[in-house]
Amino acid sequence: MALPIAVNAMGGDNAPAAIVEGALRARTDGIDVMLVGRREQIEPLLGGAPVEVIDAREVVEMHEHPATAVRAKRDSSILRAAELVAAGRAGGVISAGNSGATLAAALFAIKRIAGVARPAIGASFPSEAGQTFVLDVGANTDCKAEWLAQFALMGDVYAREMLGIDQPRIALLSNGEEAEKGSELVQAAHPLIAALPLRFAGNIEGKDIFRGACDVVVTDGFTGNAVLKVAEGVGEFLFASISREARASLSGRIGGALLKPRLRPLRDRIDYRKTGGALLLGVAGEVVIAHGRSDAEATLNAIRVAARAQERGVSSVITRAMSTAPSAQPAQPTGVSA
């Protein structure tokens, strides 16, 4: 039976109003939710809907140091929400708040899966063929080759379970397609991934993410974050420029008005805020990191991702994959670098 999804009602630029609204819409969609945060701020937004509210008095702010704040604020909404998953009361958690704090709370309360050196954050990008899942997009700023190999395994599970792809093509982000190309890190990771029991497509370049050449792209969290932010920046720039062009002349205005309804879904696709945020892979529960600027729709989509992850048992499948993987690393102490 599906457990409710714990929603950090206090996280994000538009919290709590937009977050609560998104949660109520998820409920209408048949997804059970729990709202975590300051009861007196949440309850007036419910409009009488019978949603369970878990009171938490503290909030980790966007500017706070994630791990320090989570350790200091034991009654923070993000930590309480993660604890609900750890206690088996919630089937997953979503937060649009401080993303490092979400990672820290997940590590602190839900814990890493045995054998996972570092959890990774994965995000989906649109491609000519549908979508491409990229990980890590920010959890681990400096990576070791062995971690990238584990990201490959976890990405393989994600694509099978969440995207329904039988034999996902896994690629390594590099600065050229040839096997000998890449940073020292990429060159060290290449043979490790090639030795794994998955369909390794070799090195790809950044442009290939959007061409549908593969299903999963593995990279370190620093480069992955640059990929995420550059895609966001180019998308914003182009749509702003198109809007400007569509206003600049009569023919542009008519053309823009006719084309606009068709461009909106496209704009949403390139904006990962609308596509449900990013899934944290490698912790023993389903954790979704939504964009800080999430509105109600983005919150709804993030809750959908968490519900689907619960339904498919993504963290359980990763747990099994790690216990049998030839390259599974022994558990190591881990910190939070995001």
- Look up residue 12 and give its DSSP letter: S
Distance between CA atoms of 6 and 14, rounded to whole angstroms? 17
Residue among 167, 241, 324, 332 that touches a copy of itself (CB under 8 A) = 241
Residue 184 near a copy of itself by CB under 8 A? yes
Q: How far is the CB of 50 from a copy of itself (least distance, A)?
A: 40
Between 47 and 191, name the residue whose CB sits nearer to a copy of itself: 191
Contact assessment for residue 216 and residue 168, using Cβ atoms and an 8 Å cutoff: yes
Residue 225 near a copy of itself by CB under 8 A? yes
Strands (E), 184-330: 199-204, 216-218, 278-281, 287-289
Of 120, 218, 216, 219, the residue nearest 168 (C-alpha): 216
Range in contact with a copy of itself (rule: CB under 8 A) among 20-28, 51-59, 112-120, 229-237: 229-237
Range in contact with a copy of itself (rule: CB under 8 A) among 53-61, 144-152, 206-214, 282-290: 206-214
Residue among 242, 268, 317, 331 that touches a copy of itself (CB under 8 A) = 242
- With contacts defined by CB under 8 A, how many residues of the chain interact with a copy of itself? 58
Residue 129 near a copy of itself by CB under 8 A? no
Residue 232 near a copy of itself by CB under 8 A? yes
CB burial of residue 111 (10 Å; 0-12, 13-18, 19+): middle
Residues 40-79 within binding reach of a copy of itself (CB under 8 A): none
Distance between CA atoms of 162 and 164, rounded to whole angstroms? 6
What would the 3-class secondary structure string for 97-156 be? CCHHHHHHHHHHHHCECCCCCCCEEEEEEEECCEEEEEECCCCCCCCCHHHHHHHHHHHH
Residue 195 near a copy of itself by CB under 8 A? no
Residue 166 near a copy of itself by CB under 8 A? no
Binding residues for a copy of itself (CB under 8 A)? 126-128, 138, 141-142, 173, 175, 182-184, 186, 205-211, 219, 221-223, 225-238, 240-242, 245-246, 248-249, 251-252, 254-260, 262-263, 266, 270, 338
